Amino acid sequence: MAPDRIPMRVVPGYYSTTAGIQIGTQMSPNATDDDFKFARQLGLEWAMVALDKPEDHTLENYLALRKRFESEGLKIYRLADNPRCHNMEAVTLNLEGRDAKIELYLNYIRMLGAAGIHYSTYAHMGNGIWSTGSEPIRGGAMARAFRLKDAKQGWWLDKTFEGPLTHGRRYTEEELWNNYTYFIKKVAPVAEEAGVFIGIHPDDPPVYDLGGIPRCIFGNFEGYKRALEIADSPNIGMCLCVGCWLEGGPQMGKSVVDTIRYFGGMGKLFKVHFRNVTEPMPQGFVETFLDDGYGDMHQVMHALREVKFDGAIISDHLWNMVGGRYAAEGLAVGYMRGLVQAVNNEFGGAA
């Protein structure tokens, strides 16, 4: 029997029996039987998967992975090539090998489209994610923290970026914008041809100038607005990390809710990382339980329903708590599912 609904107006070809806001989870490409059983018990439809070995990135492997997950009742929303096609410093900073990196990324996008996987998250940070260790949250659980006064380095997978000038000099905003424009003008037509939608993730943390590199593009509302106008493509939009937006606080220029209304109203909101933090910059923050941060997550979910968002939300970063990942993800998904039901009731049903 043919499916009765195609969700996510931005991702054609994916079928679902669930209307409106949908919930996904991050899974290993080598997920176990228990992992799949756990996902089914949580009622999840979508899996965010990453392949970290370059040799695994072939069309044959993409198709096989998609077939395996679908046989277990899950569809792949995002299949990431993390080490090579995410936070590419050569692209962001115009370093040696930039064009080769861009071509690698374009081939990755083409393969996704050929495999019938129509979404990819992309981050444009030149010197990675910055943290200052872990700190305790409620009940002694531990979570990632960032304290500006203690910030000394960023990281991305297998590389560390040491401050105060991670790349030997200070970069200008003009350089960053020129490099982004060069990249996105090559990417947009390929994404459109491949039928792949690219959601660009905010800088994490969105602190201006970390290690000599201004986070001026994806570290605030006006930067995003200008960046998407430059891309000028229906296939280039936002992966809204609520946690990152809350990290920035007032310096983002717009609240999370207003940001959802603006980009969601344009059909440019492709995916949401649903997480909370203890406080905004400038002091710093700790990633905390969804009900224990300063962000009002009910208001966030209400705004998503208001703009009729029908893509996937995920917990993204999880806390180190008793019971491990299953306990943390179970808590996050249960909280999100309760909020989805609540806002749907407030609007008289799913979108």
Q: pLDDT above 90 covers what percent of the chain?
A: 92
**pLDDT reported for residue 214:** 97
Pick the CATH number of 22-342 from 3.20.20.60, 3.20.20.150, 1.10.8.10, 3.40.50.460: 3.20.20.150
Provide the token pair at 127: 């010197």
The string of DSSP letters for 254-303 reads S-HHHHIIIIIHTT-EEEEE--EES--TTTEEEEE-TTSSSS-HHHHHHH
pLDDT for residue 11 is more than 70: no
Please report, for residues 41, 57, 288, the alpha-carbon distance to residue 143 in angstroms, rounded to integers and kept in the order given. 26, 31, 7
Separation of alpha carbons 65 and 62, rounded Å: 5
Question: Each residue of 117-160: pLDDT tens digit?
Answer: 999 999 999 999 999 999 999 999 999 999 999 999 999 988 99
- Is the pLDDT at 14 greater than 80? The verdict is no
Amino acid at the residue 330: G
* pLDDT recorded at residue 62: 98
Which whole number is the average pLDDT over 59-79?
97
Confidence check: pLDDT of 271 > 50: yes
**How much is the mean pLDDT over the chain?**
94
Query: How confident is the model over 55-76, as a mean pLDDT?
Result: 97
Q: What is the pLDDT of residues 16-40, one digit of tens each?
A: 556 699 999 999 999 999 999 999 9
Domains in the chain: boundaries? 22-342
Ranges of beta strands (E only) in the chain are 22-27, 46-50, 75-80, 119-123, 129-130, 134-136, 142-147, 153-156, 159-162, 197-201, 236-241, 269-273, 276-277, 284-288, 312-314
Q: Contact, 17 vs 306, CB < 8 A?
A: no
Could you tell me the pTM of the whole model?
A: 0.94
Confidence check: pLDDT of 8 > 50: no
What pLDDT score does 18 carry?
61
